[in-house]
Chain A
Amino acid sequence: MDELKLYTYIAVFGSFAMYFAIAWWARAGSTSDFYVAGGGITPLQNGMAIGADWMSAASFLSMAGMIAFLGYGGSVFLMGWTGGYVLLAMLLAPYMRKHGKFTVPEFISDRYYSKTARVVAVVCLIIASLTYIIGQMKGVGVAFSHFLEVEYENGLYIGMFVVWVYAVLGGMKGITYTQIAQYCVLIFAYTIPAVFISLQLTGNPIPQLGLGSTLADGSGVYLLDKLDRVVTDLGFKEYTTANMGGTINMFAYTLSLMIGTAGLPHVIMRFFTVPSVQAARSSAGYALVFIALLYTVAPAVGAMARLNLMNTIEPAAGQNMDYAERPQWFKDWEKTGLLKYQDKNGDGKVQYTANEASNEMVKVDRDIMVLANPAIANLPNWVIALVAAGGLAAALSTAAGLLLAISSSISHDLMKGILTPDMSEKNELLAGRVVMTLSIFVAGYLGLNPPGFAAGTVALAFGLAASSIFPALMMGIFAKKMSGTAAVWGMCSGIGVTMLYVFQHKGIMFIPGTSFLGDMGANWFLGISPNAFGAVGAIVNFAVAFLVLRVTGPAPAHIQQMVDNFRTPHGEITTAHNH
């Protein structure tokens, strides 16, 4: 066994052993432990757990790669996936914590005194979470197959087994403590290579500062200026100004991601685990600190990876690399098909340009940038092994959080809340575990046989959360008179408009050929891409809800009283009158 493989096995299985040990130590004994970790998590711990929960395989593996190729346009992900926490901390989390329930649909059902609203919320939640989980399962499979050279399927089975052990055993309590460990693993794995690369390129060990520094090669040129020049020389758009689909599209995209973030149930339910309203406010702050650590490093990783890639292929203008002398990482990624070279002009050298006809790097997959980065920069093997463990930690922790959101909405909202209200606590706990086991199998199945629409689903998850759940929750807190009928109408029309727009451009259920308007910029409403349409859906939701409210009249007095009650931290936990 070579050195790299040995280190990788140690890093991956060492971290797995740690997760199992934590799960055994923090196993759940009650439904309260299972759903909300007994309500006893401190804000700092909760912040770390939210960080791991939030930062998925997509954040860890794909985001820096997207930024590397989109440049300034990639900013929508950076602002969108962090700005949502400001909304959470001020508009939702403290009030929902005060209300003191286990799940998001339960809050909606109490506030809107309606079982219909609860069912609508459960449906939105399950669609959003399931679509999200497919991506995590694929991430687990890919990471295993790349680093440990096992089959994709076997990688997926190992991942399913690991999540099953600690999620089913520990519930929210086990998941929370495991996620704290996973956060540490993933943040080290992300920042250590970035520190090394920043040092190599600029002499500054802090990547956030390195990105704004001059190069260490003695030229005195700023790194970003150099990158701008290298890419524009080859005909690509200037890195620091490359727009993504125009200003309106970037605006709508960022807004959709922000309110989608604030409306995703697996994040919101985290705020039920802390002991007080005050702790709910501050844990949003800690969560964002831990998330910002990765999100402010990502643009440096992206820009530096792009520069290193360009420099490897063309060390000086006109002196292109010989294909025969390509480095080992180049060969490794060629094997996976994610990197492809075609010698179009037959000179045996590699030309990488923006011109379709003469570009010889036929395929450079964005997702390989983070994984290939340490090798491109010639970093030691233990750093590469660490990245493998980090990628797995990111995928597993998010998958566990999503599984909990799904299983609690089924066992607590549908079974205990609607179908069999007299179920005992012991049975509910058992039901939660059974449902979670089934969910893992469904997620695993979908990971093995990704449905045709998997590629477009993450956007749909955010669009759904942004256009349905977030407006319903916000109006529930800030519009005291908002009635159940109006909220249900709002949720349905918000989701409806968003799905219609996505389907008409991407195909019904993403089946190719069924789109009736075509996926092209000319047909987009105000130039807004389908991925960015959740913001418009949310506006429709608000508008319809207020219109219906005017026609049908306000919520009953006892509901308005309940709203008054959860607006202040003081006093008894609110109890609903309908069950």
Chain B
Amino acid sequence: MEEKQSYWQENLRLIFICLAIWFVVSFGFGILLVEPLNEFRLGGYKLGFWFAQQGSIYTFVGLIFWYTKKMNQLDKKYNVEES
């Protein structure tokens, strides 16, 4: 039972980190901070605009795969993989 509790706690911590990044790149960089970021450029892109239309999407993809990898390690660590 203890084991299961700490497995769940570690999972929650991971989710929290991922969703914090998810929030920062989309709502943060793409919407709330878009104007100051637009002062910087990435090639022809204004940086805030790039996050809103490109960067946030790439980050989302990366986040899911990172979470999947971490969770697979966690499943092994706590020995709760599917039989």
Selected from B42, B44, B71, B81, the residue in CB contact (under 8 A) with A225 is B44
Which residues from B are CB-within-8-Å of A288?
Answer: 60-61, 64
A296 B54 Cβ-Cβ under 8 A: yes
Selected from A82, A209, A223, A224, the residue in CB contact (under 8 A) with B57 is A82
B30 A212 Cβ-Cβ under 8 A: no
Which residues from A are CB-within-8-Å of B26?
Answer: 79, 83, 254
Rounded to whole Å, the gap between the CB of A267 and the closest CB of chain B is 14
A569 B80 Cβ-Cβ under 8 A: yes
In chain B, residues 44-71, which have Cβ atoms closer than 8 Å to a Cβ of chain A? 44-46, 49-50, 52-54, 56-58, 60-61, 63-65, 67-68, 71
Rounded to whole Å, the gap between the CB of A322 and the closest CB of chain B is 32
Residue A576 CB within 8 A of the other chain? no
Which residues from B are CB-within-8-Å of A359?
Answer: none
Known: A247-B32, A251-B32. A284 touches B79 (CB 8 A): no
A89 B64 Cβ-Cβ under 8 A: yes
Size class of the contact patch on chain B: 35 or more
In chain A, residues 54-97, which have Cβ atoms closer than 8 Å to a Cβ of chain B? 67, 72, 74-75, 78-79, 82-83, 85-86, 89-91, 94
Known: A78-B53, A83-B22, A211-B44. A568 touches B60 (CB 8 A): no
A240 B38 Cβ-Cβ under 8 A: yes
In chain B, residues 14-37, which have Cβ atoms closer than 8 Å to a Cβ of chain A? 15, 18-19, 22, 26-27, 30-32, 34-35
In chain A, residues 411-457, which have Cβ atoms closer than 8 Å to a Cβ of chain B? none
Residue A289 CB within 8 A of the other chain? yes
Selected from A212, A225, A278, A292, the residue in CB contact (under 8 A) with B58 is A292
Interchain CA distance A465-B39 in the complex, whole Å: 37
Interchain CA distance A212-B43 in the complex, whole Å: 6
Interchain CA distance A277-B60 in the complex, whole Å: 20
Q: How many residues on the A side are at the interface (Cβ–Cβ under 8 A)?
A: 50
B44 A212 Cβ-Cβ under 8 A: yes
Interchain CA distance A223-B49 in the complex, whole Å: 14
B82 A278 Cβ-Cβ under 8 A: yes
Residue B40 CB within 8 A of the other chain? no
B18 A86 Cβ-Cβ under 8 A: yes
Interchain CA distance A222-B45 in the complex, whole Å: 9
| Residue in A closest to B72 when the chains form the complex, CB atoms | A278
Interchain CA distance A94-B42 in the complex, whole Å: 37
Known: A90-B15, A567-B8, A569-B81. A208 touches B54 (CB 8 A): yes
B30 A277 Cβ-Cβ under 8 A: no
Which residues from A are CB-within-8-Å of B63?
Answer: 86
Residue A250 CB within 8 A of the other chain? yes
Interchain CA distance A322-B4 in the complex, whole Å: 74
| Residue in A closest to B75 when the chains form the complex, CB atoms | A569
Rounded to whole Å, the gap between the CB of B74 and the closest CB of chain A is 10
Residue A214 CB within 8 A of the other chain? yes
Which residues from B are CB-within-8-Å of A90?
Answer: 15, 18-19, 64, 67
B64 A85 Cβ-Cβ under 8 A: yes
Which residues from A are CB-within-8-Å of B30?
Answer: 75, 79, 254
Interchain CA distance A288-B44 in the complex, whole Å: 26
Selected from A86, A214, A225, A296, the residue in CB contact (under 8 A) with B64 is A86
B80 A79 Cβ-Cβ under 8 A: no
| Residue in B closest to A282 when the chains form the complex, CB atoms | B68
A284 B57 Cβ-Cβ under 8 A: no
Interchain CA distance A209-B42 in the complex, whole Å: 11
B68 A222 Cβ-Cβ under 8 A: no
Known: A212-B44, A225-B44. A86 touches B82 (CB 8 A): no
Which residues from B are CB-within-8-Å of A223?
Answer: 44
Residue A299 CB within 8 A of the other chain? yes
Selected from B4, B35, B54, B64, the residue in CB contact (under 8 A) with A285 is B64
| Residue in A closest to B8 when the chains form the complex, CB atoms | A567
B42 A212 Cβ-Cβ under 8 A: yes
Known: A79-B52, A285-B68. A254 touches B31 (CB 8 A): yes
B44 A285 Cβ-Cβ under 8 A: no
A568 B80 Cβ-Cβ under 8 A: yes
Residue A334 CB within 8 A of the other chain? no
Interchain CA distance A296-B54 in the complex, whole Å: 6
Interchain CA distance A241-B52 in the complex, whole Å: 11
| Residue in B closest to A209 when the chains form the complex, CB atoms | B43
Residue A564 CB within 8 A of the other chain? yes
Rounded to whole Å, the gap between the CB of B37 and the closest CB of chain A is 11
Which residues from A are CB-within-8-Å of B45?
Answer: 211-212, 224
A72 B22 Cβ-Cβ under 8 A: no
Selected from B31, B38, B60, the residue in CB contact (under 8 A) with A250 is B31
Which residues from A are CB-within-8-Å of B19?
Answer: 86, 90
Which residues from A are CB-within-8-Å of B56?
Answer: 78-79, 82-83
Known: A86-B63, A212-B45, A292-B61. A91 touches B31 (CB 8 A): no
In chain A, residues 260-298, which have Cβ atoms closer than 8 Å to a Cβ of chain B? 276-278, 281-282, 284-285, 288-289, 292, 295-296
Residue A570 CB within 8 A of the other chain? yes
Which residues from A are CB-within-8-Å of B72?
Answer: 278, 281
* 7 residue pairs, one from A and one from B, having the closest CB atoms: A222-B44, A75-B52, A570-B80, A212-B43, A285-B64, A299-B53, A212-B44
Chain B residues at the A interface, C-beta cutoff of 8 Å? 4, 7-8, 11, 15, 18-19, 22, 26-27, 30-32, 34-35, 38, 42-46, 49-50, 52-54, 56-58, 60-61, 63-65, 67-68, 71-72, 75, 78-83
Chain A residues at the B interface, C-beta cutoff of 8 Å? 67, 72, 74-75, 78-79, 82-83, 85-86, 89-91, 94, 208-209, 211-214, 222-225, 240-241, 247, 250-251, 254-255, 276-278, 281-282, 284-285, 288-289, 292, 295-296, 299, 564, 567-571
Sampled A-B contacts (16; CB under 8 Å): A78-B53, A82-B60, A83-B22, A83-B26, A90-B67, A94-B71, A212-B50, A223-B44, A254-B31, A281-B64, A289-B61, A292-B60, A292-B61, A295-B57, A296-B57, A570-B75
